[in-house]
Each structure stands twice: as C-alpha cells, then as structure tokens.
Structure 1
Amino acid sequence: MRTILYSRNTMKALLVVAHGSRRVQSNQEVVTLAAQMAKQLTDYQHVHAAFLELVEPSISTTIEECYQAGVRDITLYPHFLAEGTHVVNDLPRIVEQAHSAHNDLQIKLIQHLGGFPGLADFICKQL
C-alpha cells in the first residue's frame, strides 16, 4: 500500500477518457464536455479529454504531460456507458503503468458513466 502526502497546493488534473472514434464529431463531443467541466471544476488546474484508441491524445500521453507540468493528483473519469473490457482491464492497466513510472503520482479511477447512481432517473426525466 502506498502512502503519499499532498499539500493543499498539489496540482490536480481531471481526464475525461473515452474510447476514441474515427468520427471527428464524436471525439469533439468529449473535448467539449471536458471544456465545459473545466469551467465548473475550480479545484482542478487541468481538465483534458484523452482517448484509449484511434485518436490522440492518448490517455498515457496526457497523464505524462500532466505529470511533466507538475500535476501529482489525477482523476480519470471513464466516459463509457458499460463496464466492458476497456473499463475493467485497459484503464486499470494504464493507471498501474503510470504508478510504476511515477511513484509520487496519485491516480484515481472513478465510476464509469453507466455505473453512476441516478443515471436511469436522469434519462427518464429527459423523456
């Protein structure tokens, strides 16, 4: 178990991570979502979109860029509807690789979109 102490001045980043698509508009939706979230999340100095496949920037590259910019606390939000292989295997593997590369980096992988409590209620209210 790793114990890492952080000061209140530790820079934080949120990465909105998605699969990536050959369709440019799909990727742009994720970039737009990250920009909208950045306006509301004042505790995060960096908010970025990052992609697992097919398009840049990759998740690993974005983690490394954040680290090089001084970020030591990263939250990954998986913008996935289902708990498939990417959520269960690929994202935890990327997190572990980043931990191995930088032992002073804290990365938290939060619940994927489809697993959020209240999602069904939110959808039903839109109908």
Structure 2
Amino acid sequence: MITRAIVLFAHGARDPRWAEPFKRLQYRVQSRDPAIRVALGFLELMSPRLPELVDDLVPQGISHISIVPVFLGQGGHVMRDLPEIIEVLRQKYPDVEFRIATAVGEDESVLDAMADYCLRAAG
C-alpha cells in the first residue's frame, strides 16, 4: 500500500494546454519512483485544487504528503497562500504529515538546467 505522495503544486490557468508541461513532469517523477504517488494540484483556475486533491489522497491511505511548489520563486502564493491552505489541511487531517519544499525555481540545479536551456535556445 502506498502511503507517501508528492504533490506538484502549480498555479493553474484558464487554458488547459498550460498544464501540459506539469503533467509531463508528473509522469517523469512518477516513473522514477512507483512507490510514491505523484499528483498534480492547483492553487486556482484548474482542478483539482490542492484541498480537493488531499481530500482524495487521504482516504487512499496516504499519510505523508510532500508538496513541491512548481513555481520559479518564493512569491506570495508560495509564502502566504500555500501555508494558509496547509494549515487548514493540518487541522482537518491531524494524522497526516505535510512537508512543503521551496519553490522549484529556487534550486540551483534547476537554475543550471534553465541556464543550459537558454544557451541552447540562443543557438
């Protein structure tokens, strides 16, 4: 039984095509570790929103949830909105361990990959 989940937390957009790279990321992460459930949740404009997603995961036996904000920086959504959502979820699910990573764009290896891409794109 899978008890751990990684939630890739993204902003959301009106155009469903916006989510395609996030879905590809979800697939890549999931394929690297099938023992962890990898899910994609959104702040707004798309489904599932983070609270709905957690409401779906917990009855499946998930008791450890790591939230990875797929944002370039630690802006207002990551610094303010996400902790507020997680606090409500902690109250609702006191037996679930929630961990929040820093925004993916804050990681040096991610910035290096982006720099490499920029140089390749420039020719």
Give the deviation of 1:10 after TM superposition.
Answer: 6.6
Within a 5 Å distance, the mapping from 1:18-97 to structure 2 comes to: 18-44=10-36, 46-97=37-88
Percent of residue pairs bearing the same amino acid type:
25
Aligned-partner Cα distance in 2 for 1:51–1:120 = 23
Change (3 A) 1:26 1:47: same
RMSD, matched Cα: 1.5
Question: Structure 1: how far apart are the matches of 2:62 and 2:18?
Answer: 28
List alignment gaps of at least 5 residues for structure 1: 1-8
TM-score between the two structures when normalised by the length of structure 2: 0.88
> What TM-score results when the alignment is normalised by the length of structure 1?
0.85
Per the alignment, residue 125 of structure 1 pairs with 116
How far has the Cα of 1:38 moved from its partner? 0.5
Which is further off, 71-80 or 22-31? 22-31
Q: Which has the higher helix share?
A: 2
Name stretches of at least 5 consecutive residues in structure 2 with no aligned partner: none
